[in-house]
Amino acid sequence: YFSPVAGARLQVGGWQSKNFYKIQNAEGTFKVKYLQTNVDALLNLTNLFLPYKEDRVFNLVGIAGLGYVHGYKDSKKGVPTTNSIVPRVGLQGNFRLNETVDLNLEVAGNLMRDDFNGRVEGTHYDGTLNVLLGATFKLSKGGFKLVDVANPAEIDALNRSLNEQKSLLSSKESEIKRLKDELARKPEPQ
């Protein structure tokens, strides 16, 4: 995270995609092996709408990103090799277990080309849904330090007051110098 609200991540995943098909009166499922890499922007919705608290028990995070998917060829099933760029969106719930460990539950949808799974069904896109359970380990005590944002009008007023005090001090120093010079010119008392 770059701030309490915004962050980014690089994610690599894949394995198998279970696909459903229906052709005339026949229907069934088949699996396709794939590898996916994503670059995601993270938006902590909880910190966006509520004051930041480092020790908050639950945070809801919005996810939006782009991925690259490589589908592996499977000659037995007639699945060709495929490659595509994939837009994706999702939500992640972070549950704070302690100072160093969070438990994450994430749901993300991916919009893939129609031929991702090796079958062209006449639609423009195939959609996939990922449900992930994971853990985040924080290697250092961090968090974000909050600062008080000063009002510019208050800063201007303080600067004016400071300048007035400097001017007053300068005039007093001039008066002291003048009096010292006058005192130096007076004759010594007899």
How far, in whole angstroms, is CA 133 from its chain's centroid? 19
Task: Give me the pLDDT at residue 39, please.
Answer: 97
pLDDT in tens, 115-139: 776 667 667 777 788 899 999 888 8
pLDDT in tens, 60-118: 999 999 999 888 877 776 778 888 899 999 999 999 999 889 999 999 998 887 777 66
Separation of alpha carbons 188 and 190, rounded Å: 6
CB 3 within 8 A of CB 144: yes
Task: Give me the pLDDT at residue 119, please.
Answer: 67
Which residues, 6 or more positions from 116, have their beta carbon under 8 angstroms from its beta carbon? Answer: 17, 32, 34, 69, 71, 82, 84, 126, 128
CB 33 within 8 A of CB 71: yes
Among positive and negative, which fits the CA dihedral 130, 136, 142, 143? positive
Does pTM surpass 0.85?
Answer: no
- Structure-token pair, residue 33: 């092996």
